[in-house]
Chains A and B, each alone.
Chain A
Amino acid sequence: MPDFNSLGLPKPTAQTRVVVAMSGGVDSSVTAGILAQQGYDVVGFTMQLYDHGSATSSSKSCCAGQDIYDAKRVADTLKIPHYVLDYESTFQKDVIEKFADSYVAGETPIPCVLCNQTVKFRDLLKAARDIGGDCLATGHYAQRVMGEGGAQLHRAADPDRDQSYFLFATTKTQLDYLRFPLGGMLKPEARAIARKLGIAVADKPDSQDICFVPTGSYTDIVQKLRPEAMQSGDFVHVDGRVLGQHKGVINYTVGQRRGLGLGGEVEPLYVVRIDAANRRVVVGFKEDVLRDAFKLTGINWLGAGETIPADGFRAHVKLRNTQTPIAATVLPADVHGAANVVLDTPAEAVTPGQACVFYEGERVLGGGWIARDDAKAFVPHNMRKTHAKVAAEV
């Protein structure tokens, strides 16, 4: 039996080809740097996801944003081969269109998870295999731990940086091929390594916005693709009263309090539910938004066995990335790929379109998408960040 290298593969480092998904940011640059320094056969891949010229509404250009050039410069510094892969059409179809559809349906999507699920861990991963890569490494803050049943997904060592929430949809097969070398590291360590390696992006700020919404206005993109989502409709109180007119369902998120323009009630009003089909935004008081049971679709299971145990399981669940996990029971639903979640204590942050991720201690057991529920509504808490920014934390 040969020795295993630091990536858990039975080969000498020099004969192990590692493809690194390089975004041009500090984390993936450091990932490439560490692996190159360890002597791996590192190949950098950067995805061209959208036409940067048209996204920033300058004239249509052939080419890429600054991040791609940053990634190239880092690869030059590290003396590793680097390639740009064009995924514009699939990103448009699988991420941007779905993002718009989700808003139109009254949900609050997480495009970064969609991107991980499709473009990154399906297409990029296949390209990595096609060029003889032994694994695909990314700069995500999460840990891949080998257990009895194979690779497991765990939280990052740095709780402030943990991105495991955004990786819940990674399949077991994908996880087997993936590596997250930064998962055990603290962010300041990564920046220190970047400086030591002479990587030009060492002091580049972390990205905050959704990558394809450089102006920070996601409504512009949705409006362009799905103008119907901008049609105005009624603000309806949970007690049935029409309180006024809203500016189109895409401008609201379940749980939103600010910017509703509704006054005259005894307590502050929150968005409780978005009834996109009838163009209604339902509002209510804080107690109207509490919720203790909801349904999930699109389950990805990372625990033991093929799928969620038939008699359910206990876990702590996160309903958004920044949330403290809540104790819950998860039960399989009748429909394939669906589940029901019952929280021990009601939560305010149950937003359709967001993910519900199952944790067992540090380990991620999988998760699913919070489904719309047209019976009773619920609201996330008064968010410090906009939902767009929460969605972009990946």
Chain B
Amino acid sequence: MTQPPFIYLDYNATGPVCAEAKAGMTAAFDPPGNPSSIHRAGRAARAIIEDAREAVASMVGAKPTDVIFTGGGTEANALALLGIARAMGCKATLCSGVEHSSVIANMTDVDSFLPVDRNGILDIVALERRLKELPAPVLVSVMLANNETGVLQPIADIARLVHAAKGYIHCDTIQAPGRMAFTLPELGVDALSLSAHKFGGPKGVGALVLRNGVRVAPLFEGGGQEKSRRSGTENVIGIAGMGAAAKAVPKVLADTHRLLALRDGVEAQIVQLVPGAVIHGKGVARLPNTICISVAGVPSQTQVIGLDLAGVCVSTGSACSSGKVSLSHVLKAMGVPDEQTASAIRVSLGLETTEQDMNTFLAAYVPIVTGDSATSKMRS
């Protein structure tokens, strides 16, 4: 049985490796050296890493020396939250209630979570109050773009508040590259996290990028690579792929207006065709590629399964590695009722998404959520 062609609408989970990254990685296969070695083979491997470092730094307007390659986004977030807190002597950590689990998991107590409004935007007043209550310095972590809803946070405003309170601000920007223009100085943050596979690179490689002067303690000790901030022989091939993907980001950014039109078109049709459909975060600034919809009634996992069987890949927002689905903590934090949350799915678009794809998605989705799936299957 061959797999039928399918439509991929889960770019926020991951996306295809772009041609540039493939070429970059292919070239990086050959040099045999360890980047730490003195000899020419080692230097060749080192050069690959440093080229990639420059490309990643340039993508986010930072200095190459402030880029630390990691084994992915989760590690970058952990390094930021644990490493900066230790190196800079932070007394407490705070984050929004809509952060990714890799941030939430590093919070030490229940008081660490800051409330958000019904669109998922951080309650600035609550942040200000907490900063006053807590001894300085406090480390605050707020994401730029939410992975489930695409909703953007006013990071620059948040950073100003945190800095006024002598705190540090980390920003999980993992969903942002290629979907919106941003730089570390514009955001005004002390550190930001990246994951290569969210912007056309390979899985298993990421980076923590620091504002110049911010220090970070390593998560584990070893050979002292990455200026003693992340030990272990560098993932040369993965890093080469990340660098090449970073160089290709401007091309992806140029496509966002097309995705925005596709997204708005399909959202308008859903609202028209499906009574009770809610688009979460509609009306506030969002990534151009992300749709989070719920229609109380049919459970999310049934929708995702039904769509998969129809050849359309979407997601429930937060599935664990077994494929088990839990209620989205993001929508919960936004105050969405459980019965609505239980029926939410995420549709996320990318470079290869076409209008035809969106029409196929709609044709499969609408009968599932309007309870017409059995008859639609018979008709087909």
- Residues on A close to B: CB < 8 A? 17, 43, 48, 62-64, 68-69, 72, 79, 81, 83-86, 127, 129-132
Contacts and interface: CB of A to CB of B under 8 A. Distances in A.
Nearest to A68: B322
B116 to A, nearest CB: 23
A125 to B, nearest CB: 12
Contacts of A129: 374
Given A69-B322, A83-B323, A130 B373 contact: yes
Given A130-B298, A130-B373, A132-B377, A86 B306 contact: no
Contacts of B305: 43, 81, 83, 127, 131
A347 B261 CA distance: 75
B354 interface: no
B277 to A, nearest CB: 18
Contacts of A127: 299, 301-302, 305
A295 to B, nearest CB: 39
A165 to B, nearest CB: 31
A85 B301 contact: yes
Nearest to A129: B374
Contacts of B323: 72, 83-84
B299 A63 contact: no
Contacts of B1: 79
A130 B306 contact: yes
Interface string B197-231: 00000000000000000000000000000000000
Contacts of B377: 17, 132
Contacts of B306: 130-132
A22 to B, nearest CB: 13
Contacts of A63: 320-322, 324
B54 interface: no
Given A79-B1, A81-B308, A130 B322 contact: no
Given A131-B373, A132-B374, A62 B324 contact: yes
Given A83-B301, A130-B302, A43 B373 contact: no
A86 B302 CA distance: 11
A62 B322 CA distance: 8
Contacts, number: 56
B320 A62 contact: yes
Given A62-B322, A86-B325, 4 more contacts: A43-B305, A81-B308, A131-B306, A132-B374
Interface in B311-350: 320-326
Contacts of B324: 48, 62-64, 84, 86
A34 to B, nearest CB: 16
A83 B373 CA distance: 18
A244 B220 CA distance: 59
Contacts of A72: 323
Nearest to B325: A86
Interface of B: 1, 298-299, 301-302, 305-306, 308-309, 320-326, 373-374, 377
B8 to A, nearest CB: 16
A64 B326 CA distance: 13
A72 B301 CA distance: 17
Contacts of B320: 62-63
Contacts of B298: 130
B322 A48 contact: yes
Contacts of A79: 1
A149 B150 CA distance: 55
A72 B321 CA distance: 12
B379 to A, nearest CB: 11
| Most B CB within 10 A of own CB, among A68, A72, A132 | A132
A44 to B, nearest CB: 11
Contact of B309 (A62, A64, A85, A131): A131
B87 to A, nearest CB: 27
A140 B322 CA distance: 24
B329 to A, nearest CB: 12
A62 B321 contact: yes
A32 B324 CA distance: 21
A273 to B, nearest CB: 42
Contacts of A84: 322-324
5 contacts: A62-B324, A84-B322, A86-B301, A130-B302, A131-B306
A131 B374 CA distance: 7
Nearest to A43: B309
A132 B373 CA distance: 6
Nearest to A69: B322
A63 B377 CA distance: 32
Contacts of A86: 301, 324-326
A81 B304 CA distance: 12
Contacts of B373: 130-132
8 nearest interchain CB pairs?
Answer: A62-B320, A64-B322, A84-B323, A132-B377, A63-B322, A48-B324, A130-B302, A86-B324
A85 B1 CA distance: 25
A122 B239 CA distance: 49
A64 B321 CA distance: 9
Contacts of B326: 62, 86
A85 B306 CA distance: 13
B103 to A, nearest CB: 15
A68 B321 CA distance: 11
B302 A131 contact: yes
Contacts of B321: 62-63
Nearest to B318: A62
A199 B306 CA distance: 26
Contacts of A69: 322
